[in-house]
Amino acid sequence: MTINDADKNLRQQLELIYDNREALNITNLIMEKLTGFSKSLRIVYKQKVLTLDQQKKLSNYENELNNHKPVQYVLQEAWFAGMKFYVDENVLIPRPETEELTEQIIHQSLNEKLKIIDIGTGSGCIAIALKKKLSNATVYAIDISSKALEIASKNASQNNVEIHFNRMNILHLEENIALPLFDIIVSNPPYIRQSEAREMKPNVLLYEPEIALFVPDRDPLCFYKAIADFALKFLTPNNGKLFFEINESLGKDVVNLLKEKKFSSITIQKDLQGKNRMVLAFLKNEKK
C-alpha cells in the first residue's frame, strides 16, 4: 500500500462519519504521524510503499477512528497555544475557544508579576500556556482528578514550565485550605447541562470524561457559584480578575450570579464563532 492509497482509503472511510473538511483534517493528522512527512512531502513521496509496521499502525488507527474515537485520543496528542500536549480519555481535548480565553488573559497581563490559579485544569493546557507566555507569573492549578493531574504534570514537564499542582474539589474545599491570594483566577469548568447530551456527537459522549463536561439541569451554575465564592476569599481585592469559559446559553445567568456576589465590571465576550463564550469580572475594593 502506497502513501497515496492509504491517504485516499482513510479519507473515504472517515467521510462516512465526518463531513468532508473534518475527514480531511483527521486524515492529514494521521498520515503525518504515520509517515513523519508533511502534506507537501507526502505528495512528493505519494508512491512510497508503507512498511508492514506502518500498515499495522494504520489499521489500528482506522479501527479506533471508525468507532468515533477522537483523533487526539487516537494519537494521544493535541496542540494548544503552539504547544503539544499529551491527552487521553482522562482529560478533555483542548478547544480553540479555551485558547481564546487564555489569549485574553495573556493580552491583559504582559510584563506583570502575577499569581494565577487555574481551577479544573485537566490537561493543564490553560495553566501551562499562561506560564509559558507570562514567565514572571507564579501559576497554580487544581483538579479533582488525580489522573488528570498526572497528565497535567507530564505536560508541564514536556513544555518546560513549573506549575504548582494540587488535588482539590472546588465544590467541597477544606475550610482551612492554605493558598495565597491570586491576581487572576481562571476556569473552564463543567458547564454542559445533562439535557444537552442528546445533541452532542458520539466522539464526545463516548470518550471525553463526563466529570469534566456535565452539570445537573437543576443547578447548571454550581461550579460558577463555588468558584465565585472561592474568589471572594482568594482573589486580591482592588484589581483581582476572574475569567470564565461559559455555556453560550448561560451567559446572562453567570453575569447575574457574579453581580449578586458583588463583582464589578462584568463583561461577556464572544469567541471567533460569534458565540458568548467568556466572562470577565473584577473584585470590588471591599472584600465581603
**pLDDT of res. 288:** 42
Residue 99's alpha-carbon distances to 128, 249, 284, in angstroms, are: 11, 20, 27
Sign of CA dihedral 208, 271, 128, 166: negative
**The three grid cell numbers given for residue 192, joined into one nine-digit string:** 454542559
**pLDDT of res. 285:** 61
Buried b or exposed e, range 149-173, using 16+ CB within 10 angstroms: bebbeebbeebebebebeebebeeb
The total number of residues written for the chain in this structure: 288
- Phi then psi for 273, rounded to 5 degrees? -90, 0
Sign of CA dihedral 199, 203, 206, 208: negative
Average pLDDT, consecutive stretches of 10 residues, N- to C-terminus, the chain (288 residues): 97 95 97 96 96 97 96 97 97 96 91 92 98 96 98 98 97 87 97 93 93 96 97 92 96 96 94 94 69
The Cα 111–Cα 133 span in angstroms is 10
- Cα angle at 228 between 172 and 237, to 5 degrees? 120
Residue 157's alpha-carbon distances to 33, 36, 124, 163, 236, in angstroms, are: 22, 24, 11, 9, 29
**pLDDT of res. 238:** 83
**The three grid cell numbers given for residue 123, joined into one nine-digit string:** 490537561
